[in-house]
Amino acid sequence: MFNKILIANRGEIAVRVIRACREMGIQTVAVHSQADNDAMHVKLADQAVCIGPPKANESYLSIANVVSAAAITGAEAIHPGYGFLSENSSFAEICERVKIKFIGPTPAAIEMMGNKASARQKMREAGVPIVPGTPGPVRDEREAMDAARKIGYPVIIKASAGGGGKGMRVAHSEDDLQNQLATARAEAEAAFGNSEVYIEKYLIEPRHIEMQILADEHGNVIHLGERDCSVQTARHQKMLEESPSPILANGTREALGKAAVKGARAVGYHNAGTMEFLLSKDGHFYFMEMNTRIQVEHPVTEMVTGIDLIKEQLRIASGEKLTIRQKDVQHNGHCIECRITAEDPQRNFAPASGTISRFDQPGGPGIRVDTYIRSDYTVPPFYDSLLAKILAHAPTRAEAIAKMQRALSETRLEGLATTLPFHQRILANEYFQRGEVSTDFLARRMNV
Ligand code: ADP
């Protein structure tokens, strides 16, 4: 096992990784921007290095600065968290070259799965069902038109290099496609420096179901079941996740697990990863993309399986074999996570920054809070708007909902706009309570 690792991230995920390290006797190095001098991850780590000004591309995204900080402090490995450099294959490759272990998959696997068009192709070859669509990127408008006609409207245009909902547009007709194609390309070029797009069938009222994967560097791959992430904003940002999915039939769950493991094997995947699928109304599932990193919603799986995913990541990266076999994975009870962000639902989820005048956390049996904020903390305007993840774990879904409602009612989070009141409305919604949630739930059932 490593003696010392560097965490190339901030916020709640940096805190989460530091906590796992502390419990395992691993020394930690935090890196931070000038805007984060007194951030929680800096306080909790054994050492901290300032790597630049507030803007992420001059600090948290600076490969040279992060790698130098690791070299100077003698860190043997880097945990990238999520976001920032976590899915940057050049970063993983540079770490490899300077003999610092990247806690994640190989650069080749990151690159293959990071491009959605090539990931689709690879998964299709591996026999994993993919959403019907073009085999690769479309060259021009004509090819897009022909493909859309064959697939049947509505279709969704997606950037090959896409992520975070950028470069994604739905088209309901040929005219629509013409307009949206140009917009999607421009958006993709601006966000990723790559205007390549492909076309997929746009599924009506699907559910977003993802499978958590763990794979060691010795060829052992297992899955830890699903998370249902169908509660999303119009821009496809996840707001609430749960496991198990309230509607998944046992047979489908098993088939999804097998497909996810097969897909991960096909790319020689190791470490933690997530295979994302869409589940159609008629019960078919289709691979959508793979996230080659730990995810925001990983604690949902930790609560129902009792497996610490961060510790597993560290064990895998240090070369250990998985000690958990597929048949050992047990799922207990139901877990719901609310992502409380500094966003104003009344202003189209515009990000808010400012000082938290009061933060009282919820507690009690079955409640977990992953956060980095405290009273009198000023949320910097430069980064992700996630403030806290509140999780409720109980024997049944109905009990988990009641527990979450109780927890949210105890929480005081004042000083800036947050999604807390909005999450309370979701939990009180009768369709949500019945588990009737597809990815358009907020638009259809809550008018947002
Ligand atoms: P990103 O990586 O930008 O987040 P994804 O490919 O993961 O994009 O898709 C995000 C969300 O967009 C999905 O959870 C789903 O709600 C919606 N979506 C994506 N593809 C389709 C599709 N073919 N049909 C219907 N909805 C889709």
Overall pTM > 0.95: yes
Task: Return the CATH number of the domain spanning residue range 132-201.
Answer: 3.30.1490.20
List the chain pLDDT tens, one digit each, 448 residues. 999 999 999 999 999 999 999 999 999 999 999 999 999 999 999 999 999 999 999 999 999 999 999 999 999 999 999 999 999 999 999 999 999 999 999 999 999 999 999 999 999 999 999 999 998 999 999 999 999 999 999 999 999 998 878 889 999 999 999 999 999 999 999 999 999 999 999 999 999 999 999 999 999 999 999 999 999 998 889 999 999 999 999 899 999 999 999 999 999 999 999 999 999 999 999 999 999 999 999 999 999 999 999 999 999 999 999 999 999 999 999 999 999 999 998 898 999 989 999 999 999 999 999 999 999 999 999 999 999 999 999 999 999 999 999 999 999 999 999 999 999 999 999 999 999 999 999 999 998 8
Task: Write down the pLDDT at residue 182.
Answer: 93
Q: CA 390 to CA 131: how far, in whole Å? A: 32
3-state helix, strand, coil in the chain (%, to 5): 35, 25, 35
Strand partners, 231: 240
pLDDT of residue 22: 98
The structure tokens 């005219």 sit at 175
Tell me where in the chain the CATH 3.40.50.20 domain(s) lie.
Answer: 4-103
Is ligand 1 within 6 A of the CB of residue 156?
yes
Q: What is the pLDDT at residue 444?
A: 93
Rounded Cα–Cα distance for residues 162 and 195 (Å): 10
Query: Minimal CA–CA distance to 244: which of 328, 307, 289, 303?
Result: 303
pLDDT for 163 equals 83
Q: How far apart are CA 157 and CA 421, in angstroms?
A: 33
**Atom 23 (ligand 1): residue with closest C-alpha?**
202
Which amino acid is it at 42?
A: V
- Ligand 1 centroid – CA 268 distance (Å): 25
For residue 296, what are its two tokens? 């925001």
Cα–Cα distance for residue pair 83/294, rounded to 1 Å:
10
CATH code, 4-103: 3.40.50.20
The CB of 187 under 6 Å from ligand 1? The reply is no
280 SS3 class: coil
- Give the Cα separation of 130 and 135 in Å (integer): 10
What was the pLDDT predicted at 423? Answer: 98
Residue whose Cα lies nearest atom 11 of ligand 1: it is 236
User: Is 293 assigned a catalytic role?
Assistant: yes
Q: How far is CA 153 from CA 162, 171, 204, in A?
A: 21, 7, 11
| Ranges in the chain annotated CATH 3.30.470.20 | 207-446
Quote the pLDDT of residue 164: 79
Check residue 234 and give its pLDDT. Answer: 86
CATH 3.30.1490.20 intervals, the chain: 132-201
Give the mutation target among 439, 441, 442 for probing the ligand 1 site: most ligand atoms within 8 A of CB. Answer: 439
Enumerate residues 6+ apart whose C-beta is below 8 A from 370.
12, 15, 16, 299, 388, 389, 391
Q: Find the farthest-apart pair of alpha carbons in the chain and give their distance in angstroms, rounded.
A: 60
Q: How many angstroms separate the Cα of 355 from the Cα of each of 13, 358, 384, 415?
A: 21, 9, 15, 6
- Ligand 1 geometric centre to CA of 289 (Å): 9
Whether ligand 1 lies within 6 angstroms of the CB of 232 is answered as: yes
**Which residue is listed with tokens 């993309």?**
289
Instruction: For ligand 1, say whether the CB of 159 is within 6 Å of any of its atoms.
Output: no
What is the pLDDT at residue 166? Answer: 85
- For residue 56, the 8-state DSSP code is G
Domain 207-446 CATH (choose: 3.20.20.150, 3.20.20.105, 3.30.470.20, 3.30.1360.20): 3.30.470.20
